[in-house]
Amino acid sequence: MAQACGYTRNVRADAARNLEAVMTTGARMLADDPAASIAAIAAEAGVDRRTVYRRFATREDLLAAIYEARLAAIERATEDARLREAPVAVALHRYVEGIITVNRTWPVDLSRMLAEAPVRERRERSVRALADFLDRATDEGVLRPGLPDGWAIAVLPQLMNIAARQLTELTPAQAADTVVDALLTGLGTD
């Protein structure tokens, strides 16, 4: 029994690696070219296209799986940041680092999927959690009061997106340092 489990585990690990390679490669390629074919994605991921078709009947099925993976990763990053209970500065850095990692791993835009109510509801929960956290950051004096309504929640995702895509020479932690510094101190010298 132990040998059978070990063998199954090895096969499943290989299958899991292949699936992850297909999905992350697909996310990157579809973000660059929404018309990328399954065959091109499979070739870039280093797997046979039949491997992809066994799991995903269509490109839309692959894209739906990528969207699901992105949403799940956003939810994990939000949960791991402990936005409600960790000190604000710690939670902010954890959140930013997590989301930069998500944006780099799953660069596809969710806008196509937001038309679906369950996806939209999940995304709205994440946005509400961030909004509540930013209100807490203001209440605790980490963000200054008096900013226009919605300003911090509009600026932070933009900064994270820029960091994920343009500061690629930095690790997610280093990019998070830059984003948090820009958010909390701005770009000025004072």
Question: Could you write out the DSSP letters of every residue in 153-178?
Answer: HHHHHHHHHHHHHH-TTS-HHHHHHH
The yes-or-no verdict on residue 138 having pLDDT over 70 is yes
CA gap 69, 185 in Å, rounded: 33
Average pLDDT of the residues of the chain: 88
The whole-model pTM stands at: 0.86
The yes-or-no verdict on residue 87 having pLDDT over 50 is yes
Which residues lie closer than 8 Å to 78 by C-beta, 6 or more apart?
A: 95, 98, 126, 129, 130
The pLDDT of residue 9 is 39
Which residues of the chain does CATH 1.10.357.10 include? 59-190
CA gap 160, 170 in Å, rounded: 13
Dump pLDDT digits (tens) for 38-84.
Answer: 999 999 999 999 989 989 998 889 988 998 999 999 999 999 999 99
Cα angle 173, 175, 176 (rounded to 5 degrees) comes to 60
- For the domain bounded by 1-57, which CATH number is listed? 1.10.10
The yes-or-no verdict on residue 7 having pLDDT over 80 is no
Class of domain 59-190: mainly alpha
Which residues of the chain does CATH 1.10.10 include? 1-57
